[in-house]
Amino acid sequence: MVPEWRCRLAAALALLLAVGNVVAAGGDGAARIAALDPDQRAALQRRAAQWDALPVTIQRERREAWLAWRSLPAQERARMRAAREAWRSLPIDRQQALRARFDALDAGIRRGWLLGPVLGRHWPRLHALFAQVPPDERDALLAALRALPPQALEDLGVLAQRTPPQERAALRAGLMAEPPARRAQWLRARVAP
């Protein structure tokens, strides 16, 4: 039996695959376009026209997935590429079943998988704690979460479930106030006092 998180990862990957080919981050876009031969430029124009023809909601979803992909650490992108190849090797009916299971998840849980395989796996227990994070705190918080070892993420998941909504901001602030090297111990002490 395939673990549930692996099924969710494969389905989340299907969403990221919908974005299409991911261009390498960085570089001068205008220079890359100028370097295209006429056939490549025509193909790019066709893709741009196809993009423009998509509904705005689909464009937004794909843009979000592309930006999420770009923000993943290289190690997680490598895991996602490996999962993509495994997913592609599955029979079509299995791919469709995994996609249906993913689509049936709550939208907040599905979006959590955009954070990659490590945080996506823990997101069902963490998302209540981080759903209302102010935008100016988001990047630092994601970096802190990505730096936590697996046990600390498990501990944080337990705390997220135990913490009433009105106390979640204080829990996040307490976590972020700790030096990075002490965060795992801080979480462990709160889970098992």
Give the residue among 192, 136, 191, 132 at the shortest CA–CA distance from 161: 191
- What pLDDT shows up at residue 164? 93
Q: What is the pLDDT of residue 110?
A: 87
Tens digit of pLDDT for each residue in 6-30?
A: 555 555 554 444 444 434 434 567 7
Q: What is the pLDDT of residue 29?
A: 75
Q: Are residues 1 and 76 in the same domain?
A: yes
Could you read off the pLDDT of 156-192 as tens digits, one per residue?
999 999 999 999 999 999 999 999 999 999 999 999 8
The conformation of residue 21, written as its DSSP 8-state character, comes to: S
Show the domain range for 146.
Answer: 132-193
| Same-domain pairing of 27 and 79 | yes
35-53 mean pLDDT: 88
CA 127, distance to chain mean position in Å, is: 12
Question: How many domains would you assign to the chain?
Answer: 2
Is the pLDDT at 150 greater than 70, yes or no?
A: yes
Tell me how far apart the terminal alpha carbons of the chain are, to the nearest angstrom. 36
- Indicate whether 103 belongs to any domain: yes
Residue 19 region, left (φ>0) first, then alpha (ψ -120 to 50), else beta?
alpha
**What is this structure's pTM?**
0.71
- Residue 105 domain-assigned? yes
pLDDT score at 18: 43
> Do 105 and 137 belong together in one domain?
no
The mean pLDDT of the chain is: 84
Q: Tell me if 124 is assigned to some domain.
A: no
Whether residue 75 is found in the same domain as residue 104: yes
pLDDT at 51 over 80: yes
* Mean local confidence (pLDDT), 119-133: 88
In a domain? residue 3: yes
> Quick one: 35 and 101 in the same domain?
yes
Residues 18 and 110 both lie in one domain:
yes
C-alpha closest to that of 191 among 166, 154, 138: 154
Q: In the prediction, which pLDDT does 128 show?
A: 85
Residue 187 lies in a domain: yes
39-48 residues labelled b (16+ CB within 10 A) or e (exposed)? eeeeeeeeee
Claim to verify: residue 103 and residue 168 sit in the same structural domain: no
CB 142 within 8 A of CB 106: no
What is residue 23's predicted lDDT score, i.e. its pLDDT? 41
Instruction: Say whether both 94 and 14 belong to one domain.
Output: yes
The pLDDT score that the predictor gives to residue 135 is 86
The answer to whether residue 192 sits within a structural domain is: yes
Q: Tell whether 61 and 90 lie within a shared domain.
A: yes
- Both 107 and 139 in one domain: the answer is no
Query: How confident is the model over 65-77, as a mean pLDDT?
Result: 90
